[in-house]
């Protein structure tokens, strides 16, 4: 639809008012003859306004009387109309043509690089590596080999698992994916033991392989041995080194204490709003202000970019609007019950983030005391049941490896 309107703009179009008892009949005729009309607005029960191409209007103006309506041209628009108005201004037309040619020429270069998808890796590092791989501001965009850029960047940046550069006019959008930490892989014949990931008291045990060295009710500390992968015998049986496996559940406790104020400060927006503008022209930023910050003591800032594009292709020109809304800080006094309830909730959420995955919350025990008239100190003790078994690879003693080496040499 937008493309059809653009074509009509190039060929010229009219804004027409249609009046009569049944103006819808005119629209039915347009639809029957395949004539495109748009921006239809009903002004009254008997009047509508619409836009139609010059060619379509010529085809239908003799049908107006047959449909019982009257046509009135309100405006003539489009490129031919504009050129006809200024046909005597050769310098103006020449300037427009030169300007358009200049825009087309500048559009052959890259004027903006947008990075999306990065979390741990900074934008500055990615841009630096892209520049070393051949992509930078001012680079001729037709000389950019996207596949080669992808391969070079993945080699140069080991923390990336995927990258692709999409050309959009004078802008390139570089989408990246970072590598995730690969969990340690254990094989069936590895020599492993289970150790405690946290302090706790053993609640239950499921040992599938290995020799347990703790029992239910034992207190254990972090990194202490739970299940050994070594099984030895006093009857001249060779020592066995196993891949210990199992689930060791323990009761664990978390305790966090924090102070909360009864005075709650909120921000209220005022009617004072200040806007600062800047223009980015082909990689160069021009600020239309001296001081980037407003004179407000407290404010909220929003930034919005308006990019000049043609058919979704960036043309290298961006208008940036920074809006500063002044705010005033207003203190409100909350009730003791509200402060205590909100403080307990926040601490419980923080503790829950520290617990191991798939843990079971047994109970929480909150307590509080008043530090002064406006401050309440809240303590939350939370009890969980967690699988604290953590598998670690062990190394066999050298004396155990020597007989195997001798047997292989024989």
Half-sphere exposure of 79 (CA within 13 A, CB side): 9
pLDDT more than 90, % of the chain: 47
Distance from C-alpha of 17 to C-alpha of 2, rounded to nearest angstrom: 22
Whether 2-83 and 91-182 share one fold: the answer is: no
Q: Map out the domains of the chain as residue ranges.
A: 2-83, 91-182, 192-253, 264-333
Contact status, residue 357 vs residue 311, Cβ threshold 8 Å: no
Looking at residue 219, its pLDDT comes to 95
- pTM over 0.85, yes/no: no
Beta bridge partners of 313: 310
Q: Is the dihedral of CA 291, 296, 302, 307 positive or negative?
A: negative
Contact status, residue 278 vs residue 317, Cβ threshold 8 Å: no
The residue to which tokens 């604290």 are assigned: 388
Beta bridge partners of 19: 47, 70
Q: How many other CB atoms sit within 10 Å of the CB of residue 47?
A: 16
Q: What's 61-75 look like in SS3?
A: HHHCCCCCEEEEEEE
State whether residue 384 is helix, strand or coil. strand
From residue 309, give the alpha-carbon distance in Å to each of 64, 319, 403. Answer: 40, 12, 75
The residue to which tokens 């209220």 are assigned: 268
In the DSSP assignment, the letter for residue 142 is G
Nearest to 232 by CA among 389, 397, 403: 397
Looking at residue 401, its pLDDT comes to 47
**pLDDT (tens digit, 9 = 90+) per residue, 171-186?**
899 999 998 876 666 7
Nearest to 48 by CA among 71, 76, 75: 71
Looking at residue 407, its pLDDT comes to 46
Terminal-to-terminal C-alpha distance of the chain: 84
Looking at residue 260, its pLDDT comes to 96
CATH topology of domain 2-83: Alpha-Beta Plaits (3.30.70)
H-helix or E-strand containing 51?
strand 47-53
What the block records as the tokens of 279 is: 């223009």
In the DSSP assignment, the letter for residue 227 is E
Chunked into runs of 10 residues, the chain (410 residues) has average pLDDT values of 66 86 82 84 87 83 76 84 68 74 79 90 92 90 89 92 89 90 71 93 94 94 93 76 92 96 92 93 87 91 88 83 94 93 95 91 95 94 95 75 46
In the DSSP assignment, the letter for residue 33 is T
Contact status, residue 216 vs residue 205, Cβ threshold 8 Å: yes
Backbone angles phi, psi at 222, to 5 degrees: -55, 135
Domain 91-182: top CATH class: alpha beta
Looking at residue 405, its pLDDT comes to 43
Contact status, residue 160 vs residue 153, Cβ threshold 8 Å: yes
Distance from C-alpha of 93 to C-alpha of 99, rounded to nearest angstrom: 10
Looking at residue 234, its pLDDT comes to 66
The vertex-408 CA angle with 405 and 410, nearest 5°, equals 110
Q: How many other CB atoms sit within 10 Å of the CB of residue 396?
A: 13
């Amino acid at each position: 639809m937008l493309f059809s309107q653009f074509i009509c703009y190039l060929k010229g179009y009219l804004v027409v008012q249609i009046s009569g008892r049944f103006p819808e009949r005119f629209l039915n005729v347009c639809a029957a003859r395949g004539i495109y009309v748009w921006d239809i607005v009903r002004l009254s029960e008997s009047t509508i306004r619409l836009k139609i191409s010059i060619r379509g209007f010529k085809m239908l103006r003799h049908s107006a009387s047959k449909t019982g309506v009257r046509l009135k041209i309100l405006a003539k628009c489009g490129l031919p109309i504009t050129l006809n108005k200024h046909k005597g201004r050769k310098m103006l037309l020449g300037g427009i043509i030169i300007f358009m040619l200049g825009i087309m020429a500048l559009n052959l270069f890259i004027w903006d690089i947008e990075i999306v998808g990065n979390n741990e890796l900074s934008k500055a590092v990615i841009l630096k590596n892209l520049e070393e791989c051949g992509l930078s501001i001012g680079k001729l965009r037709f000389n950019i080999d996207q596949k080669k850029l992808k391969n070079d960047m993945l080699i140069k940046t080991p923390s990336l698992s995927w990258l692709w550069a999409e050309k959009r006019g004078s802008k390139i959008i570089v989408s990246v994916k970072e590598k995730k930490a690969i969990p340690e892989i254990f094989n069936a014949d590895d020599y492993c033991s289970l150790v405690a990931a946290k302090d706790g008291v053993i609640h239950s045990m499921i040992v599938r392989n290995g020799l347990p060295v703790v029992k239910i009710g034992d207190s254990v500390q972090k990194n202490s041995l739970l299940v050994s992968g070594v099984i030895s015998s006093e009857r001249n049986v060779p020592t066995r080194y196993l891949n210990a496996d199992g689930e060791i559940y323990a009761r664990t406790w978390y305790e966090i204490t924090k102070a909360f104020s009864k005075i709650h400060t909120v921000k209220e927006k005022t009617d004072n709003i200040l806007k600062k503008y800047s223009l980015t022209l082909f990689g160069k930023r021009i600020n239309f202000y001296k001081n980037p910050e407003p004179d407000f003591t407290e404010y909220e800032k929003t930034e919005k970019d308006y990019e000049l594009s043609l058919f979704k292709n960036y043309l290298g020109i961006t208008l940036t609007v920074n809006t500063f809304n002044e705010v005033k800080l207003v203190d409100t006094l909350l009730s003791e019950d509200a402060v205590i309830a909100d403080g307990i909730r926040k601490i419980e959420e923080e503790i829950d983030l520290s617990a191991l995955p798939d843990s079971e919350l047994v109970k929480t025990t909150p307590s509080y005391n008043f530090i002064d008239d406006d401050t309440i100190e809240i303590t939350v003790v939370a009890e969980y049941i967690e699988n604290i078994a953590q598998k670690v690879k062990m190394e066999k003693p050298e004396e155990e490896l020597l007989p195997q080496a001798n047997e292989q040499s024989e």
